[in-house]
Amino acid sequence: MVLDLKDVFACEGASYHVDTTLNLKCEEIRGGYPFKSDVKVSADVQNRSGMVTLEIDADFDYTSNCDRCCESVTKRFEYSFFHRLIAKLEEEYNDEYIETPDMTLDLSELVLSDILLELPSKFLCRRDCQGLCQKCGQNLNLGDCGCEKQEIDPRLEKLKQLLD
């Protein structure tokens, strides 16, 4: 979805509001397609004293496998983002502003990049996830597997024999 911001840039005090949904179901992330439903987006663009700002609220369900136990889990995320927009940058690169030289903005692309930067780097089904047994592969959240937990480093095996 492309926003035409010419009127907002032209008139101090102008504002623009949009409520939309973005279909990100085809976006592949970490080898899967985690967006099972549309992302609800509410965006407000305002020109206050010549400074154009963009506030975005995004609400979505995200499905992925737990990084410890590999179980599929869906979590609901609600994020808010804030950006300053400018028609032309004086410097070559400045991450404090988003340059909009033709006074249009691809909202879909911006929301997707904001979401990807905000998502947790480790996706867990719950904070105290036990993960999988390193020997037999059983999900330890479902119960103990019975494998011996204390493993001796093979380099120290001879020392253990001396102690016995």
Tens of pLDDT, residues 70-81: 999 999 999 999
Cα separations in angstroms, 44 against 22, 72, 153: 16, 34, 59
3-class secondary structure, 111? helix
| pLDDT (0 to 100) of residue 115 | 95
pLDDT grade for 130, boundaries at 50, 70 and 90: very high
On the question of pLDDT at 50 being above 90, the answer is: no
| pLDDT (0 to 100) of residue 93 | 67
Mean pLDDT of the chain: 88
- Across the range 104-116, mean pLDDT stands at 92
Beta-carbon contacts of 29 under 8 Å, excluding residues fewer than 6 positions away, are 116
On the question of pLDDT at 152 being above 80, the answer is: no
Q: Give the sheet arrangement for strand 15-22, strand by strand.
A: 15-22, 39-48, 51-65, 72-86, 97-99
- Across the range 42-48, mean pLDDT stands at 93
pLDDT grade for 145, boundaries at 50, 70 and 90: confident
pLDDT grade for 134, boundaries at 50, 70 and 90: confident
On the question of pLDDT at 1 being above 70, the answer is: yes
Comparing 11-15, 105-109, 128-132, 146-150, which segment has the lowest mean pLDDT?
A: 146-150
Highest mean pLDDT of the ranges 26-35, 44-53, 69-78, 101-110: 69-78
